[in-house]
Structure 1
Amino acid sequence: MPLDPLVVGGVVGDVLDPFTSSVSLRALYTTRHVTNGSEFKPSSVVRHPRVDIGGDDLRTFYTLVLVDPDAPNPSNPTLREYLHWLVVDIPATTGVTFGKELLCYESPRPTSGIHRFVFVLFEQLGRRTVYAPELRQNFNTRDFAKEYNLGSPVAAVYFNCQREGGSGGRRFT
């Protein structure tokens, strides 16, 4: 049985609990698809990606978050995630442009090391309103999902990014 790339990359564990993907999630920067563990430089992720959501019922809505779990936070290492993007009320079978952007896309710009950037998709259970957090730093995907009764993710994909001149090296958490 092949290893799950979200487990190998530490996304399951550091950001998410184990889950079963049940909806397709495709992210595309210009002409390049995001696949688990793919490498992008900051210059190629300046503008938000095209993100398409699967599903089969337009009455089902989703919430998308993009987080950097490797953002340094010396004051509290247990709350390390940085929220780069938050889009809610995305109807199934569409994309993020049909949703409501609560926090505009902030392009990844890691200053040192390799950072993982994780797209996480949640099904909105019911029509409870989701609000943007006051701060992008100290975000916690698990706590956010609990607060808004989002349950387990239905899809996730991540890419790695390091500064333009960076090469090699493995992130240390």
Structure 2
Amino acid sequence: MHSFLYLLAIGAITTTGVLSEARSDTEERATSCSTANPNDVAAAKAAFTSAELVPDLIPSFDPDTTVQASYNGKQIDLGNTFSVTETLLQPSISFLAEPNYDASTTNYTIFLVDPDAPGPALPVLSDFLHLIIENAQPSCITTQSPIDLAPYMSLTPLSVAPHRYTILVYRQPPNYVAPVDPQYVPGVRNNFDLNGYVAEAGLEGPIAGNFFREGLSSTDCAITPNCTQDGTGYPTS
């Protein structure tokens, strides 16, 4: 009888130790995932409002974290300017963990869209889709496996007036399945309904965003078919 009680006690101690280690591992993963500085989150929200991306592109923007992105090392920073030659290749995009969500089990979808295509004065081709990445996770998750659902399509502004190229991050619901959309194919990306896609997919957010500006130089515009100086994107005569 004493031996049986002794074995039960040893089993309980072992189980408690395993559970403690599991909790410790979970806590360690949680604490190793950095969250955004509230001032940076507030700055992003203010920049989106100032640039009128709310409501031109999205109806509201109340982010919980921040997204970092760059082209060949040049950081995208809430409205700074890029040239066409700087954005030929896909940007590097990452984001910090969202508070109150387990970074190791929560997936996100990232969009890069142009609300000003073909030119900001007459954006009849907006939203122009340049990239969708699904199953992304915060930068602290080194084992993540994001998927380029809509492969990167290089930026094609048709105006000297700069476009507001915008990166947005949305939280995916559990058991997420992306909607089927023919605009995943490069070359068929104009008039993408970002907000309609988000609603159909059940995505939540945006929980983070960033943007930059890009237009053609006057010299490049002069030799680019359909480019206009005034931002309409297409010649009117």
Q: TM-score, normalised by structure 2?
A: 0.63
Counterparts in 2 of 1:69 and 1:77: CA distance versus 1, 3 Å: closer
CA deviation after TM superposition for structure 1 residue 141, in Å: 1.5
| Counterpart in the other structure of 2:109 | 63
Aligned counterparts, 1:140-155, within 5 A: 140-155=193-208
Determine which structure has greater relative contact order: mean sequence separation of CA pairs < 8 Å that are 6+ residues apart, divided by chain length: 1
Q: Distance in 2 between matches of 1:170 and 1:58?
A: 47
Q: 2:149 aligns with which of 80, 92, 102?
A: 102
Matched, 1:30 2:72: yes
Matched, 1:80 2:133: no
**Which structure shows the bigger proportion of residues in strand conformation?**
1
CA deviation after TM superposition for structure 1 residue 77, in Å: 6.2
Counterparts in 2 of 1:39 and 1:132: CA distance versus 1, 3 Å: farther
Q: Distance in 1 between matches of 2:174 and 2:204?
A: 11
Q: Distance in 1 between matches of 2:211 and 2:153?
A: 16
Q: In terms of Rg, which structure is larger?
A: 2
Q: Distance in 2 between matches of 1:166 and 1:10?
A: 27
Q: Distance in 1 between matches of 2:204 and 2:137?
A: 17
Q: 1:161 aligns with which of 205, 209, 214?
A: 214
**How many residue pairs get matched?**
169
Answer whether contact 1:114 1:170 (CA < 8 A) is retained: no
| Counterpart in the other structure of 2:225 | none
1:20-69 C-alpha deviation (Å, 9 max, x unpaired): 21122100111211011110001001111111122161211000010000
Counterpart amino acid of residue 145 in structure 1: V
Q: 2:63 aligns with which of 5, 18, 21?
A: 21
Counterparts in 2 of 1:163 and 1:127: CA distance versus 1, 3 Å: same
| Counterpart in the other structure of 2:186 | none
| Counterpart in the other structure of 1:91 | 137
Gaps of 5+ in 1: none
CA deviation after TM superposition for structure 1 residue 72, in Å: 3.3
